[in-house]
Amino acid sequence: MSELSDFRAETRAWLAENLPERVVGRGDGFAGGTKAGAQSADHRRWFEACYERGFTVPAWPTAYGGAGLDPKFTRALREEMAAVRAPAPLGGMGVTMIGPTLLEYGTDDQKDRHLTKIASGEVRWCQGYSEPGAGSDLASLQTRAVDHGDYYLVNGSKIWTSGATLADWIFCLVRTDPDAPKHEGISFVLFPMDDPGVTVTPIVLISGDSPFCQCFFDNVKAAKSDLIGRENRGWTVAKRLLQHERSMISGMGNTAGGAAQGPTFADLAKQWYGDQDGRIADPSGRDEVTGINLDSRAFGLTARRAAEENASGSTPTFVTSMFKYYATELGSRRSEATIRMYGMEGTGWEGGSFDGRALRETRGWLGGKAGTIAGGSSEVQLNIIAKRVLGLPD
């Protein structure tokens, strides 16, 4: 047997011994920290087994709590976990965004202090990028950080800060030189969310959920030891992190695990359009579902090929914009098609007269609108693709 085959066999045996039956197919996400409430005993046991093995962040170096697996072995681990419907033991912005960025841009001290706490689930992170006046034009941000020797004083606000109510730390873009060109006066800093100058206000969305927040900073201290990269050169770090974010949104950034899926898209269509000898009874519905399924399959194969060709294991650069754009637009197509399947049932937001599953789909459709905006809107991605991938002139 090859080394990879041996690893797969060893992983299957380890999963059989360590995966609790009660977590199989349960995608209960754990992003670290202590503010989200305790995990179930079975989920905690699963997390601790994975952490002991380095599987919460399998591609990270062992010095920072990972397993030190190269991309080929990381992919094999993910596939073996998915085969037994094991949930990912750890997710969130620490794993998918700031962690990979620190591995590339952080000092040894910054890596030692922050990465191990991500891998162990001790700390949960949120992102301080967008502002009320700086969304798609992110470089127009105005949150200020004034030099006070060994720390900065940060004043301003951020908006659409996902999970800020549950986060322990934030990675934040601040303006450290208001007189410099807007892309050159920005710095990338980290600071704890329990600073007395931080105020977090949840934002209720049309879906009824409130994962997003607005954060206000009033003389918040950000230590110079947590300046990532050089002062006034944070835009480079910020763009790199966005590539990790887009990779995560597109599904390319998954590290391990795969919870069970519900009824397939085709099964759902059969329930609403009718089942005719194993086929969707309505011809137009059948054509739409088939087209979306084919595009989803082609996208998945393309993403896998890109990951396999990326032998170094580093995040693809501007190509992530292509994957992020297509993944979110494809998701939007599927949501729209699902709502059409439900007909009048898909118009309900609440109330006992509506099918409970239809209500969940409707709220998911409403909440899913954010997908084409998060990490840079579809229009921003098309601009990046035109300029950075295709090399078209401005």
Catalytic positions, written as ranges: 245
Helix (H) or strand (E) holding 180: none
Q: Which residue has the tokens 């093995």?
A: 53
Q: In this structure, are residues 110 and 225 in contact, taking their beta carbons and an 8 Å threshold?
A: yes
Cα dihedral 299→303→305→307 (10° resolution):
180
HEC readout, 338-381: HHHHHHHHHHCCCCCCCCHHHHHHHHHHHHHHHHHCCCCCHHHH
Report the largest interatomic distance among the alpha carbons of the chain, rounded to a whole angstrom. 74
Q: In this structure, are residues 169 and 190 in contact, taking their beta carbons and an 8 Å threshold?
A: yes
Residues 6+ apart with CB under 8 A from 382: 325
Helix (H) or strand (E) holding 171: strand 169-175
Q: In this structure, are residues 357 and 342 in contact, taking their beta carbons and an 8 Å threshold?
A: no
How far is Cα 88 from Cα 43, in angstroms, rounded to an integer? Answer: 10
- Looking at the chain, list the stretches that DSSP marks H as alpha helix, in order from N- to C-terminal side: 3-18, 41-53, 71-83, 93, 99-105, 108-119, 234-250, 265-273, 283-309, 319-342, 356-367, 378-384
